[in-house]
A and B are shown apart, each in its own frame.
Chain A
Amino acid sequence: MLKLSSTIRSLSESTETGTIVRRITDNPNYVPALRSNEYFLNRNGHAVPAGFGGYLFATLPVEAAAPLNSFLLDPEVTFLEHGDVIRITPDRKSLRALYRRNSPHNSFLLTERCNNFCLMCSQPPKPNDDSYIIDQILRTVPLISPETRAIGLTGGEPTLLGSKLIDIVQALKANLPHTAVHMLSNGRNFKDIAFARTLANIQHHDLMIGIPLYSDISSIHDYVVQADGAYDDTIRGIINLKSLGVKVEIRVVIHQATYARLADLARFIRRNLTFVDQVALMGLEMMGFTKFNLEKLWIDPKDYQPQLVEAVEILDQARIRVSIYNHQLCVLDPRLYPFNRKSISDWKNEYMPECDDCTRRQECGGFFSSAKLRYSRYITPFKTAS
């Protein structure tokens, strides 16, 4: 798994105060007039070009005195590239990539607070005030490369930011007119039509909200998200968003509490929420709360294939776009291959020892590295590519 953060060491005086948010470049001939805004990534110990706002060194510089705002990177760091946006903490001891230009999966964690408490939450909620994140994001957005295909907004629960969320989406629209935005939200706060309307009124050119719905039955959904009344709120949120023309994706994580009624949920969606833009059926991530609740949640994906096939057929028949995520090809029923998306973020995916000789490794998304904790006992390499 790719690390996105690193320790660093200050090599010279820092002229900035507080958190540093800057874009980096490795181009020594960068336009001189604009250099003061960028930090230079010096990889190979050559002559240091002058005029940049700051410097990141992979190895100690040969010059006696490093320029202002210089930092030494950890030797392990290989992930930084031209166009990335980095954040350096006020104590100047750690660096993180907030945005990676070459990654197809950039997303911003907007807050760790949440009003649900899902049994399988991969980003367990924390009640702290983390509103400082918003400022960092608003500073990052203008630095993002305009060719970026998509930006994700995640949490916690993004809508807890209230009007600040609207500011962020507005900034994304204003700065990145060709970039899609995919927000993950439980949808509950959109039961307030006025709030939903402020989001819709931004008229973002390509915004989709991914909203989990775990059952056709309220008590089962509420159990999975550990919040009474969540189902009703979520449904109302979905209806409001769609009535205002905002795109909605319904997401379902498949585990012990959700697999049995998966087909019923598919029928429910098809009958009651036909207007959703797509449905994503996802495999369980072994992160966060999942580890704690593993015995309640774990079911071998091979064992729920019949339910999954039925659910997909129900939705596909109604021509609702269906995608399957986080499953390995060898445990999926072949009828589901057309719906399977290779999607594990590049900084998360790995393969198991059983996968060594598999001829379809590339096609298959592999695993989250966290899957080492538990994965299907049916993992089998494909012998011939077909």
Chain B
Amino acid sequence: MNGISRAGDEHCLVLNTSIYGLDAIKKTAYRFADKASVILQPASENAVSVTFNFVGKHAATNPEQVIGDFCNELLDQDLREIIKRETTPVRNIILAHAFSRTSLVEQE
């Protein structure tokens, strides 16, 4: 369950970690460094609070827009996790062969 609350310059979003993986949340927060100051804190056993602070050079931005983009990006991160889980083994094989010294066809 998530919702956005506001306190002064701070906007706070609570995310359920059984829906949004913690890694996905962190990666998304990292990406938004140019749009807001983002602080992550545990909210409860299954929740993380994401606090957005729009001050200084971020003061002019539209908070709702940024938070909306943040949520969209979270969904994208979720997709990326799925792709990564499935394709990492294949990718490792491709890289191992691509960078090996032996001829590709000798692997048969």
Contact = CB atoms under 8 A, between A and B. Distances in A.
A352 B105 CA distance: 49
A246 to B, nearest CB: 13
B41 interface: no
Interface of A: 193, 239-240, 243
B34 interface: no
A193 B104 CA distance: 11
Contacts of B106: 193
B86 interface: no
Contacts of B88: none
Contacts of B108: 193
Interface in B83-108: 103-106, 108
Contacts, number: 9
B39 to A, nearest CB: 45
A347 to B, nearest CB: 40
Interface string B31-47: 00000000000000000
A59 to B, nearest CB: 60
Given A193-B108, A239-B105, A243-B104, 6 more contacts: A193-B105, A193-B106, A239-B104, A240-B105, A243-B103, A243-B105
9 contacts: A193-B105, A193-B106, A193-B108, A239-B104, A239-B105, A240-B105, A243-B103, A243-B104, A243-B105
Contacts of B105: 193, 239-240, 243
Contacts of A239: 104-105
Contacts of A193: 105-106, 108
B50 to A, nearest CB: 42
A272 to B, nearest CB: 13
Contacts of A240: 105
B29 to A, nearest CB: 37
Residue among B103, B105, B108 with max Cβ neighbours from chain A (10 Å) = B105
Contacts of A243: 103-105
Nearest to B103: A243
A193 B102 CA distance: 14
A189 to B, nearest CB: 14
A286 to B, nearest CB: 39
Contacts of B103: 243
A239 B104 CA distance: 10
